[in-house]
Amino acid sequence: MATQEIDRRPRPDRALSLYEDACRHVRAACRALGVAEGTAQYICRPQRFHEVSIPVRADDGRLLVFAGYRSQHSDALGPCKGGIRFHPAVEGDEVRALALWMTVKCALLGLPLGGAKGGVRCDPGALSGRELEALSRGYVRGLFAELGPDRDVPAPDVYTDARVMAWMLDEYERLAGGSVPGSITGKPLVLGGSALRDEATGRGCALMALSAMDRRGRPARAVRFAVQGFGNAGAATARILHQAGWRLVAASDSQGAVHADGGIDPADLLAFKARYGSAAGYPGAAALPPDEWLALDVDVLVPAALEGAIDEGAAARVRAAVIVEAANGPVTPDADELLFARGVDVVPDVLANAGGVAVSYFEWVQNRSGWYWAPGEVEARLRDLMLSTFDRVDAEQRRAGCTPRQAAYRLALGRLVEALRWRGVAGT
């Protein structure tokens, strides 16, 4: 992790507005469903929110103290589930928003899980391997009483990976005094991880992109697409779409963007980035100004980087027919409505990037049962779950004449509100 490229660029202070955006979608869906205002307010707020201080002794002897967060948004449908991100810009309201979105994703997919999210405000690229391990274990120690396979199950997120999850699992099991593989997902295979977990988000996103273009009718030529954020999810999405015969014509990361009208091989670009640290300078491609990716003449845009990447001003420049949200919250609410009015289909994040939590759920199920599935079985189950959910969202959108995001939220919150009614929550 210490050698990984970290996006340290200044970004707009979107933490509070991300949470407001998430609540705005919830309130709109609740109004459409005839849900009481009090229940909408209850759904917007996390059931529990934790902030801890994590002390780490640096290699040079200094004491470093990091802020760690965990938002357990809802356990109405089952144990909380959600990733942990290590990033310099982690904030409490960002974590609250991401946890709410996780609740919506789990409810939409029909999983017996609620939503959670965690994070540590840090620059993982500036930490040694030993310091990163100490931070990972310290996070678990600080929140141990709140975690567990029947309570809250963490997973990887931005700048965390299987190695970080292995340290967290080991620390949790040390404190628990026994083997508890279902307490953490996104683990290495040898520690009870699931096949295809590393590429699950990208694989699910690619399935949604293919489905969205099938819905519109694919052009006779190869489908042209661009990816903003050529990291884990973006690169996996690009590779799978390339294998399906689509043409990647532009890709970007935090260091720059490249464009080649004749196409870019995602595997070759990923190898170049692994060697040189960035997609910038990729041979055979031209440099692209940072914001020009969204105005390219392509069929599909895949924003897989920062939230708020497409606001109203940017939406007016979009030429693509379909946007597939591999990132969380890349399209603002006002931009979403503008794109819908222009006839642009937006596959919302709560569906497009839900492949990650789907396979995390599969991993949790395998851990609980002690029966592990072959890659082909994981892939088939993921495909069935994602495609059936896409069809339900598509049918609801057509029935209600609303945006795909509104359709997804209505389906998800309908299930969540039903669970709250059965639990006797007042005002539902």
Q: pLDDT for 310-322, tens place per residue? A: 999 999 999 999 9
Per-residue model confidence (pLDDT) at position 3? 35
The band of 427, judged by pLDDT with boundaries at 50, 70 and 90, is: low
Per-residue model confidence (pLDDT) at position 12? 45
Check pLDDT > 90 for residue 9: no
The band of 308, judged by pLDDT with boundaries at 50, 70 and 90, is: confident
The band of 306, judged by pLDDT with boundaries at 50, 70 and 90, is: confident
Q: At 96, which amino acid appears?
A: R
Q: pLDDT for 242-292, tens place per residue? A: 999 999 999 999 889 999 999 999 999 999 999 999 999 999 999 999 889
**Residues carrying an active site annotation:** 117
Do the bridges between strand 48-57 and strand 63-72 make them parallel or antiparallel, or are there none, so unpaired?
antiparallel
Tell me the CA distances in angstroms from 101 to 59, 209, 271, one per residue in order: 37, 20, 32
Check pLDDT > 60 for residue 227: yes
H helices then E strands: how many in the chain?
A: 14, 12
Check pLDDT > 70 for residue 369: yes
Q: pLDDT for 333-344, tens place per residue? A: 999 999 999 999
Phi, then psi, of 341 in degrees rounded to 5: -65, -30
Check pLDDT > 60 for residue 4: no
Domains in the chain, start-ordered, CATH in brackets? 15-191 (3.40.50.10860), 200-347 (3.40.50.720)
The band of 426, judged by pLDDT with boundaries at 50, 70 and 90, is: low
Single out the residue of 382, 325, 315, 378 nearest to residue 351, CA to CA: 325
Q: Round the average pLDDT of the chain to a whole number and report it.
A: 94
Determine the average pLDDT of the residues in 72-93: 97
What pTM value is reported for the model? 0.94
